[in-house]
Chains A and B, each alone.
Chain A
Amino acid sequence: MTPELGHFALVLALALGLIQSIVPVIGVRRRDDALMRLGDSTALAQFAFVAVSFSALTICYVTSDFSVATVYENSHSMMPLVYKFTSVWGNHEGSMLLWVLILALFGALVALFGNNLPATLKSHVLAVQSWIACAFYLFILLTSNPFARLAPAPFEGRDLNPILQDIGLAIHPPLLYLGYVGLSIAFSFAVAALLEGRIDAAWARWVRPWTLAAWMFLTVGIAMGSYWAYYELGWGGFWFWDPVENASLMPWLAGTALLHSAVVMEKRNALKIWTLLLAIVAFSLSLIGTFLVRSGVLTSVHTFASDPARGVFILAILVFFIGGALSLFAWRAPLLKQGGLFAPISREGALVFNNLFLTTACLTVFVGTLYPLALEAVTGTKISVGAPFFNLTFGPLFVPLLFAMPFGPLLAWKRGDILGVAQRLMAAFGAGLVMITIVAVAEGSVFTLAPFGIGLALFIMMGAMTDIAERIGLLRAPLSVVRQRAAGLPRSTWGTAFAHFGIAVTLLGIVSVSTWATERIVAVKVGQSISLSGFELTFDGLVQRSGANYRELGGKFTVRQGSVAVATMEPTKRSFASRETTTTEAALMTRGFSQLYLSLGDVNSDGSVAVRLYYKPMVLLIWIGSIVMMLGGALSLSDRRLRVGAPMPAAKPAVQPAE
């Protein structure tokens, strides 16, 4: 009964979606308030029905109802409860249902919190949002029904792919989807603006919080995926330039560009057409990502069993929405009024620079990801484009962007003074140079990644702090004034500083790991030791255990520094009988931001065990940086100016009591 209820709720959501796709648009044409307002109720109801559908599927998983095909395929009665929940989206059908759930959620949020939007714009946004939703409801119902039944029902399920039985999986896809799908709001706003033929600074003010929220989730989602791959795949890499990773990086790059161009539009009423285009492109890249991941054209851990019909359907959705939006753009954008003027050296100019390099970098990732597919489709030749390609293209394009980052926030709007800014960044620049010298001397060479990468990271960090320090008069004004100014500083200024600081933190982690990581891959016998980067690991023996739905072989190791035992590490290999599969569970020992990483290979016939041992200096900074970036986004989002529904302009904070 439950699966049918879920299926039926999804069909009802589709019906509501179709109404919402058409009626509000008619309402706008006829200037009929009642018809326009219908979109609000349907958006809420749509979300309710998709939520019912999703809950129904969740119930099927939790109760291990193997009469449902997807539950049989991806669950097992012995699986721990938490993985019964996460396996709901650990497969193609369920993950698509999560996709539309989040899509409907965003639609409902616009309906709830969009009270300050002009009625016609809101109606158009909700209608466009519903067009996307309907396309995906149809996709699920026609090609990927998660509620399909099996008769007779099997007694036991085939278990979730063990590599996905991990807490990282519980968090990574929902976060990533919140980001991917959140960009749909920016897209809907862009298409709505094109339909209306009118766009102004207020539009940017409405779009920015949504984009910012999506960007925050995308940032952490990508970082989570990277951390998961790092500890679960057993060889310690944090980014593989895998097409699927690129599929999530591209919307992030476009979304980051969109955030910055929307600032220009909001403050200076310029770059309007470009911002619209970016809003369309950012979500288009999300759709392309979904296509790449879900159609099975790529080989990756994210590819579940593929079915050509699905690929064709998603391709059709892709062509319709991207093609449609871009045609609408080509037709209507010339009608939009030009915005304000600015000198090339100005805050606007810096943001244009940012956009230019971000989009170009995005383009190189796009080429590197899709070129192999295009080449194979045209000539049949199979190639793979890996890390070397991206290091040679993406890297050089990102360096000027990173170097320019501290300048942007210090430049004035309209016409900036680059020399003045350079002067104010002297301290940061000097610190960077000193760092380059120190690292170069320590490394014994100058022209390598490490000195420049670390110097650049320090320059960006200091630059971000310079902006804040100057604004609050640090070291110049009395402390009480500084505190007062810090409290009065707009949250978005803090947000910028945090986000830029976070990028530098991630950069520091990446440079440090790429340069100083050490590794040993050896076979050890009981009693033998391996030494690496000042640590000595002694192999004490193997242990066997059994877990909820697996058997586990663990290797016990004692870690010594000097002659002092500091920790024990126990990497394991789990074998899952239900799928005849093994996974590697690496053991991690964290010291500060650095980690010792140990994973187990095969047991050889002579009793020795193959192990991989890595020392990853500062590796945690890679992911901590993303959290700092997200905090920056959150601070910016909490700015009064942007708070959804807050009246403009922000009132000055009440007079503070003298201290």
Chain B
Amino acid sequence: MTRKQRRLALIGTSLAVLAVAAALVLSALRESIVFFNSPTDVAEKPSAPGTRMRIGGLVKPGSLQRGDNLLVRFAVTDGKNDIAVLYQGIVPDLFREGQGVIAEGKLDAGGVFAADTVLAKHDERYMPREVVDALKKSGHWQEGEEKSTGSAAK
């Protein structure tokens, strides 16, 4: 093979591998991405029940109930709208009423969100960014809130 042919073979192979990768990425993106919604998004633009999604907001104070078999019920709120969430399992260490939370799962026909994953923040001073944005959108967020609560603690 001449240098030119070799180069063409190399470029051809590379393009083929890239094409396969692109196809994999596109199909995976169609199947496996999960959209994030705030409770208001869910109320305003309901999606088909059974669609996998993430919701985020604050755990509504007074809404937390624990049942048998590690069943946990709580409501996620952005100040405007609430979503009832059902979760079975162990919630994270920093899961508390009034704190930011993200839940991943499916909305059932009755409007209850069956979560299979619940994420809280890792640090008491830190709020998941998605939650901050959701609260900002619903107008229940004051700039600098994070910092002021932080330094007021001690």
Contacts and interface: CB of A to CB of B under 8 A. Distances in A.
Contacts of B34: 383-386
Given A161-B123, A392-B24, A521 B29 contact: no
A612 B21 contact: no
B146 to A, nearest CB: 7
20 contacts: A343-B6, A344-B1, A356-B14, A357-B17, A382-B133, A384-B54, A385-B29, A386-B34, A388-B31, A389-B29, A389-B32, A392-B28, A393-B21, A396-B24, A397-B20, A397-B24, A573-B93, A579-B124, A581-B94, A610-B90
Interface in A576-612: 579-584, 601-602, 604-605, 610, 612
Given A344-B9, A392-B24, A382 B146 contact: no
Given A305-B146, A344-B9, A397-B20, 10 more contacts: A303-B126, A364-B21, A372-B33, A382-B35, A385-B33, A388-B28, A389-B28, A397-B21, A521-B70, A521-B89
Contacts of A523: 69-70
Interface in B9-32: 9-10, 13-14, 17-18, 20-21, 24-25, 27-29, 31-32
B18 A604 contact: no
B25 A161 contact: no
A344 B17 contact: no
A610 B126 CA distance: 26
A341 B24 CA distance: 33
A566 interface: no
B87 to A, nearest CB: 12
Nearest to B88: A521
A544 to B, nearest CB: 17
A156 interface: yes
Given A582-B94, A584-B93, A341 B130 contact: no
B36 interface: yes
A384 B154 contact: no
Contacts of B10: 344, 352
A580 B149 CA distance: 13
Nearest to B102: A299
A386 B32 contact: yes
A403 interface: no
A382 B32 contact: no
A60 to B, nearest CB: 19
Nearest to B128: A299
A428 to B, nearest CB: 25
Interface residues of B, number: 46
Nearest to B54: A384
A152 to B, nearest CB: 14
Contacts of B125: 305
B136 interface: no
Given A381-B35, A386-B34, A393-B28, A158 B153 contact: yes
A382 B36 contact: yes
A235 to B, nearest CB: 8
A296 interface: yes
Interface of A: 154, 156, 158, 161, 163, 234, 296-301, 303-305, 341, 343-344, 352, 356-357, 360-361, 363-364, 367-368, 371-372, 381-386, 388-389, 392-393, 396-397, 521-523, 573, 579-584, 601-602, 604-605, 610, 612
Contacts of B140: none
B13 A356 contact: yes
A234 B93 CA distance: 9
Interface string B97-136: 0000000100000000000000000111110111001000
Contact of B93 (A300, A392, A396, A582): A582
B29 A371 contact: yes
A393 B124 contact: no
B36 to A, nearest CB: 4
B99 to A, nearest CB: 11
A299 B90 contact: no
A367 B28 CA distance: 11
Given A360-B18, A363-B21, A393-B25, A163 B9 contact: no
Given A296-B129, A382-B130, A163 B24 contact: no
B91 interface: yes
Contacts of A521: 70, 89-90
A656 B101 CA distance: 68
A299 B129 CA distance: 6
Nearest to B151: A158
Contact of B25 (A367, A381, A602): A367
A384 B31 CA distance: 12
B85 to A, nearest CB: 17
A535 B69 CA distance: 22
A335 B91 CA distance: 60
B102 to A, nearest CB: 8
Contacts of A343: 1, 6
Nearest to B24: A393
A552 B20 CA distance: 52
A583 B93 contact: yes
Contacts of A393: 21, 24-25, 28
Contacts of B35: 381-383
A114 B9 CA distance: 39
Contact of B21 (A296, A360, A383, A384): A360
